[in-house]
Each structure stands twice: as C-alpha cells, then as structure tokens.
Amino acid sequence: MRDAFDDQLSEMFADLAGIAGMVEVAIERATVSLMDGDASLAEAVISADAEIDAVREKVEDDAFALLSLQQPVAGDLRTVVAGLRMVTELERMGDLAVHVAKIARLRVPETAVPEDARATISRMADVARDMVQRVVQIIMDRDVEAAIALGRDDEEMDQLRRASFTELLSDSWQHGVEAAVDIALLGRYYERLADHAVSVASRVVFAVTGEFPSRDRSALPA
Amino acid sequence: MRDAFDDQLSEMFADLAGIAGMVEVAIERATVSLMDGDASLAEAVISADAEIDAVREKVEDDAFALLSLQQPVAGDLRTVVAGLRMVTELERMGDLAVHVAKIARLRVPETAVPEDARATISRMADVARDMVQRVVQIIMDRDVEAAIALGRDDEEMDQLRRASFTELLSDSWQHGVEAAVDIALLGRYYERLADHAVSVASRVVFAVTGEFPSRDRSALPA
C-alpha cells in the first residue's frame, strides 16, 4: 500500500515536471516566434497548449483518486494537495506562453518588438525560461534548497520590467503607441511566468517541509 | 460527525464568500481611486489586502484540517478541494484590485484614465465588480444555475477589451504612450478579474455536481 502510494506520488511529480518541461519549450518557441515574426512557430505554441491541458487533467484525476482511495494524512496529504495547486499554476504558465505567441502572430510579418527594445525583452524571456527550466528539476528532485534559491533570484525580472518601462516611456521612444502597448503586455506576461515559477517552487518547499519558504504565504503570487 | 462536517464546510464557504465580498469592495474602491485620482483610497485598497490574505490562510488551514481529520470522499472531498482552489483565485483577484490601485496611486494628483477612455474603463470596472458581486451569492448558495449563467455573461468584457484597444490605437489618440500603457494594463487587470470570477463560479459547479460547466476544464482560466 505504502509502496503503491509512493509510486503514484512519484508519477504525479513526473507528470508535473513534464508539464513544466512543456512550458519551457512553449516559452522558448513563443519568444523565437516573437523575435523573428515566425507565424508557424506561434501557431505551434498555440496548438501545443492542448497537450498541457491534457496532462493537467490526468494529474487532477490521479490526485483525486489518490485522495479518495488512499486517504493520505499529514505530509502525504500536503504533497498531493500541493501537486493539485502546482498543476493549476503550470497550466496557467502555458496560457501565458500562448499570450506571447498570440502577440507575435498578430504582428507577422513584422515583429512586435522594435530593435531598441529587443535586448530587454529578450533578457526577460531568458530569465523566465531559465526559471522554468530550474523548476523542472526542482519538481523532479523535490529539491528544497534549489526552490528557495529560485525565490531569491526573482529580482532580476523586476529590474528588467522597470528598465522596459523606462525605455518605452522615454522621450526617445519612436515606435508609437502600438509597440509600447505590446511591450508592456509582453513584459507583464514574462513577469507573471517568473512569479508562477517562484510560486510553484514555493509549493514544492511546502510539500516537503510543511512550511512556505518565507513563512509568509502572502508573498506567493498564486 | 456528519453534522460537524457540514458545519465546517458551511463555514469554509462563508469564509470564501467573505473574501469575495472583500474583493468586490477592493474593486469598487480601486476604481474610484483611479477615476478620481484619490491617493488615500488607493492606499486603503493596498493595505486592506492583508485582511484577504489572513482569511485565505484560515480557509487553507481549515481545509487541511478537514481533509486530515475527516478524510472526506466523493462529493465531500471534491468540495473541500474546490474550496482550496477557489481561495487561491480569490486571493489573486485581491492582488489584481491592488494592481489597479497602484496605477491610480502612481498618477496622483492626475488620473491615469483620460477623458475619452473613461467610459470604456468605467464599464469594464462595473462588469468586473458585478461579476464578483454575483460570485459572492453563488458561493453562499452554491448556486449552480447562477454559476453557469455567469460563465455565459463573460462576453461583454471581451468586447470592452477590444473597444479599449481600438480607442488607444486609433489615430485620434492624443494622450501619448504612458496613458496608453496604463489603459492596456488596466484593461488586462479587469479582464483577469472577470476570468477569475468565471473560474471561481465554475469551481462551485464542479464542487456541487462533479462536472465543470462545459465539461471542458481547458476553458477554465485558472
């Protein structure tokens, strides 16, 4: 019984890591489609989102079955419930990558990001993708140390967001309102991706230790 | 035992409705602070968010206690887990109201919304607040019919969002990049508030019936 339960938990975490991996790919592709004005890559991100939703449903169904049939308590219960909440956030992260792809698609054959905004947006995308990549491993290993470290590294995204606003609100901005609105929304999407990555990592810490990293759940950008 | 469980479930739903009520107030106040450039009202929204977080923690702790001690199955289990997921979304809705208040505060003593964008933004705020008001009642009564109806009424927000983009991207827009970016982000926040309202209502349907309204969980903007 115990072994069966552990196997099922491991499968749930493998599925969660699998979704995180799909999100990472989605961010990567959405960003390339954005920078290159590549419509078919944007379409690929949009249609691949259904796969994320499918694994999400599997995780939810499995978690309910675990709760119903095994009636876990204490740490086991915490872990299953954390898994249910992580899957919601991971699915939401997939949606955010789709939002990026949709902005890309809207501007094809042009690109939404003008030359002098590319460095900042590109770096935001890298930071988001890197964080999600780390989340894949954090979920696989249920690695509390790495999860706490991820939470500490969230500052660069905030700085990039501020830098991006400074760029598009400066007197030298010559790309008009439409590009500025695109950039502001793109910045928001990448920032939310990073927020959710931190939040998923925090839930791994909670699942393993019973405490949130900072003992402050209000800091969770759920 | 059964009575105790029902009492605890009722308390959880009363707490959830309480949070939804606080979110409704937050949206109302944030919108007035936005339209009037009222810094103290914006501050009130920002500081009141801690109360939402506190009730959120209570709901989470109570739900864990229910799951651990009562080990519910079937519909009862579904209801407790739905409550846990609803509270996450409601707390997030509070954060979105705070985002609106922060844009308001940033532009004081001016207002972020120029005269010719006020009608659309104002209507978005009304739609969002009205949806949250209905959610309060839907949670209290666990009202499946009203929850399904709410999901159907989400279209006006999409139309308003498109109208808002049309306004700020038109040649006659004379308020520059900063105002356009504010409006685009405000539109996003109100739209997300409406999305979450629909999602919370869908989870009420799931808690009561075991099915999501459209049988399509991928439609949930969780």
Q: Determine the residue of chain B that is closest to A71 in CA distance.
A: B71
| φ/ψ bin of B143: left (φ > 0), alpha (ψ from -120 to 50), beta (otherwise) | beta
Phi, psi of A165 (to 5 degrees): -60, -40
Task: Locate A214 and state its tokens.
Answer: 């900072």
Per domain, the residue ranges of chain A are 2-219
- For residue A82, give both structure tokens: 């954390």
Tell me how far apart the alpha carbons of residues B100 and B46 are, in angstroms, rounded to a whole number.
Answer: 10
Taking the CA of residue A137 and the nearest CA in chain B, the distance in Å comes to: 24
HSE of A184 in the Cβ direction (CA atoms, 13 Å)?
Answer: 24
Q: Which of A81, A181, A221 sits opposite B180 (nearest CB)?
A: A181
Report the gap between the CA of B126 and the closest CA in chain A (Å).
23
- Per-residue pLDDT band at B154 (split at 50, 70, 90): confident
Q: How far is A8 from chain B (nearest CA, A)?
A: 18
Annotate A41-98 with DSSP letters as a single string.
HHHHHHHHHHHHHHHHHHHHHHHHHHHHHH---HHHHHHHHHHHHHHHHHHHHHHHHH
CB spacing of B180 vs A180 below 8 angstroms: yes
pLDDT of A1 reads: 63
Question: Is A180–B185 a contact, with Cβ atoms under 8 angstroms apart?
Answer: no
Domain B2-219 of CATH type 3.30.70.270:
no
pLDDT tens digits for A194-203? 999 999 999 9
DSSP secondary structure string, A99-135?
HHHHHHHHHTTS-SS-HHHHHHHHHHHHHHHHHHHHH
CB contact under 8 A, B173 and A168: no
With CA atoms as reference, the chain A residue closest to B186 would be: A185
> Which DSSP state fits B117?
G
Indicate yes or no: CB of A181 within 8 angstroms of CB of B168.
yes
- Is A165's CB within 8 Å of B181's CB? yes
Q: How confident is the model over B9-20, as pLDDT tens digits?
A: 999 999 999 999
Q: What is the ipTM of this complex?
A: 0.90
* pLDDT value, residue B2: 76
A44 CB-contact burial (10 Å; exposed 0-12 / middle 13-18 / buried 19+): middle
List the structure tokens of B194: 């409406």
Task: Provide the CB-side half-sphere exposure for A50 (13 A, CA).
Answer: 4
